[in-house]
Structure 1
Amino acid sequence: MKSVAQAPIPGKRIIVRCDFDVPVENGKVVDASRIKNTLGTLRFLLDQEAKLVLISHIGRPKKPDKDFSLVLVKKILEDFLEREIAFQDKLTIDREAPINLVENLRFWPGEEENNQDFSKKLASLGDLYVNECFAASHRAHASIVGISKLLPAFAGFNLIKEIEELGKILQNPVRPLVAIIGGAKLETKLPVIYNLAKVADKVLVGGRLMFETDRRSLPENVVVAHDDVGTKDIGEGSIQIFREVIFPAKMIVWNGPMGVFEDPKYINGTRQLANSVIASGAYSVVGGGDTISALNKFGLIDKIDFVSTGGGAMLEFLAGKTLPGIEALNSSRL
């Protein structure tokens, strides 16, 4: 995989697959963290006198929908970069503009279908391609996989950081390593539990998963919460056991809350674990939208050492799966 730092940039038009899949409420972006994560790569390219074509998506629209338009991020980007941006609602660009922002790619069926003609259309917009969207790199979409076969392809700085940080957990962890897996979606989380059990000293399981897992079939180093509060949070007994495991940890990876933390009646498990993770002094890596939302709610997100932008991508990586977007960058020969 080649870093964007290795790309022949000056004078080139660079297509950057960004992660602008930000939460929107009442037509306003409520958390610009993902936009901020792209700025290092974008500023580096602009400093090298490149022209930029920014492509991304918001949400899961089935057709063009103004509530999912990337025009919502245009002003935020302009403020961050201190430059004007030309917004394009079709797959065209203003070749005189230093920065073009193309409309939500998921407005076109060819994006999620990884359609070859759509990929060629995207590739025609620039000279080089940079993937700066780890969060969608588990998707074999045109802007992630198809385009990387048609142009010289490079990895953005944040994507490289994601791979390095998550790779440390699987390949070179500091011990004791404790993994915390919560939330729901057993079919997604179970492979992660099994794979992390091979490398972690302990894997703690809470949230809805505590009711869905077959404890007898799990590895011995997996500890499943044993009591609950109204089936919507882990109980005091489990909190105490989890604390005792977390306290001596030197590295912690966490994906998924312990309960329905949005409801004050069921916030305690997630809050107590968050405080324990911070108090342990361990190197901490967290990911998943709900986990990040909880830590933001508790005012603790800034005390986490690395916050992954990937939800599903993080889980598939930790499950030991090959991400199509990463494989495409590794196999790029142009």
Structure 2
Amino acid sequence: MAWKTLDDMDLNGKVALVRVDINVPIEEGQVTDDTRIQKIVPTVKDIIAAGGKPVLLAHFGRPKGQVVPALSLEMLVPALSNALGLPVKFASNCIGGPAKTAVSELKTGEVLLLENTRFHAGEEKNDRELSASMAALGEVYVNDAFSAAHRAHASTVGIAEILPSCAGRLMAAELKALEAALGAPERPVTAVVGGAKVSTKLELLGNLVTKVDNLIIGGGMANTFLVAQGIDVGKSLAEHDMAETAREILAKAKDSGCVIVLPSDVVVAREFKAGAASDVVAADACPSDAMILDAGPKSVEQVSAIFEASKTLIWNGPLGAFEIEPFDVATNAAAARAAALTVEGKLISVAGGGDTVAALNKAGAAKDFTYISTAGGAFLEWMEGKELPGVAALSA
């Protein structure tokens, strides 16, 4: 799929409408994690360096088409200005008089932030009239919000169909990384998929078994696959009603030449709490009064060996209950091995999804992965093989 980048656009003297994701956590009016804000800095600065005037479009929270003062983007102006090191102006609407006036008064070297796009009901409906009203404010459209690319909204698709469009630096980096991981990857390709429930990742698993060489399954999902093979998992989290579905996935993987890897040994405990007494047992030897909470050391060795024989790794979800010790060992160890291979230039590693990012950060491995996506839903839909409307609109 071809798309233009900032380098392909004439930005000099032009107003660039930039769709960004700055949906950051706020406590008592203060930004507690500005990661998403920091990630848009290269795009904004490059637009200014090319002589353009950046006008930021963004959503915040779920106001459901209503004006909700508590969800106003105005409170993000200080954090944006601090991250950019530039003056950031604010307009009380993303269309109409306030927006037009603010755009007309914007000086070179300044940035304008428009009010929450979701204050308009037409945003989530990709309303043509709203799209046209926003598009009328600028001359070029830049989408730098991959995390919102799975939504066909006015600010992610509608404007792109009206104005000359391109991907921002963050969007372009994400698309390049994803193309390298699943589009035209170096093989062998290995995927790690963990998490609590098979039912939430059916489409993901169904797509991956046709695309990757090895599929390592961890977390509660692995327990469901063990159940599907007739193994007693005691009191472990498992979806017993999904056993037949798990068997279908195993059969599809076999037909596709994909090797599904389940834990060979596991860490079990009688209670789910930090520091709980635990034992390592074979995967088919979980006591009836215990629960599986992590993969065991032999499983980690097997996973590490697969990583070492792979060229590309896609990671979504932990191998165990990584939030509490001692059930974070397998995730930490496997993440460290993947990070080390990446640093050595032997592995392309791409990871994404909320729990995944948290787990890799906790393991201290995230910084060494080739690419970490913070996109959540968009990353998962891409892994499921779905076309993302916000990306498709850029290549139209």
TM-score, normalization by structure 2: 0.77
- 8 Å contact kept, 2:208–2:215: yes
Whole-angstrom distance in 2 between the partners of 1:32 and 1:209 = 32
Task: Report what 2:294 is aligned to.
Answer: 234
Matches within 5 A, 1:1-334: 1-62=3-64, 63-91=66-94, 92-93=98-99, 94=102, 95-97=104-106, 98-184=110-196, 186-210=198-222, 211=224, 212=239, 214-217=245-248, 218=250, 219-220=253-254, 221-225=259-263, 227=266, 229=268, 233-236=293-296, 238-281=299-342, 282-331=347-396
Secondary structure at the counterpart of residue 148 of structure 1? helix
Task: Report what 2:232 is aligned to.
Answer: none
Whole-angstrom distance in 2 between the partners of 1:207 and 1:106 = 36
Deviation of 1:273 after TM superposition, in Å, equals 2.3
Tell me, which stretches of 5 or more residues in structure 1 are unaligned?
Answer: none
Deviation of 1:76 after TM superposition, in Å, equals 2.2
Whole-angstrom distance in 1 between the partners of 2:50 and 2:393 = 25
Deviation of 1:256 after TM superposition, in Å, equals 1.5
Deviation of 1:228 after TM superposition, in Å, equals 5.8
- 8 Å contact kept, 1:134–1:309: no
Deviation of 1:173 after TM superposition, in Å, equals 1.8
Tell me, which stretches of 5 or more residues in structure 2 are unaligned?
Answer: 225-238, 270-290
Deviation of 1:36 after TM superposition, in Å, equals 2.0
Amino acid at match of 2:247: R
Secondary structure at the counterpart of residue 266 of structure 1? coil
Cα RMSD over matched residues? 2.3
> Are the structure 2 counterparts of residues 187 and 5 from structure 1 closer, same or farther at C-alpha, using a change threshold of 3 Å?
farther
Whole-angstrom distance in 2 between the partners of 1:291 and 1:130 = 28
Amino acid at match of 2:328: I
Amino acid at match of 1:59: G
Deviation of 1:116 after TM superposition, in Å, equals 1.9
Structure number with greater Rg is 2
Secondary structure at the counterpart of residue 56 of structure 2? strand
CA offset digits 1:293-334 (Å, max 9, x no partner): 222223222111111232211122222211101111111xxx
Amino acid at match of 2:57: I
- 8 Å contact kept, 2:181–2:348: no
Whole-angstrom distance in 2 between the partners of 1:66 and 1:290 = 30
| Higher relative contact order structure (alpha carbons within 8 Å, sequence separation ≥ 6) | 1
Amino acid at match of 1:29: V
Whole-angstrom distance in 1 between the partners of 2:151 and 2:212 = 27
Aligned-pair identity (%): 37
- 8 Å contact kept, 1:2–1:329: yes
- 8 Å contact kept, 1:247–1:279: no
- 8 Å contact kept, 2:140–2:164: yes
- 8 Å contact kept, 2:126–2:157: yes
- 8 Å contact kept, 2:18–2:144: yes
> Are the structure 2 counterparts of residues 8 and 29 from structure 1 closer, same or farther at C-alpha, using a change threshold of 3 Å?
same
Secondary structure at the counterpart of residue 210 of structure 2? helix
Amino acid at match of 1:287: G
Secondary structure at the counterpart of residue 16 of structure 1? strand
Amino acid at match of 2:374: T
Deviation of 1:187 after TM superposition, in Å, equals 4.8
> Are the structure 2 counterparts of residues 259 and 148 from structure 1 closer, same or farther at C-alpha, using a change threshold of 3 Å?
same
Amino acid at match of 1:169: A
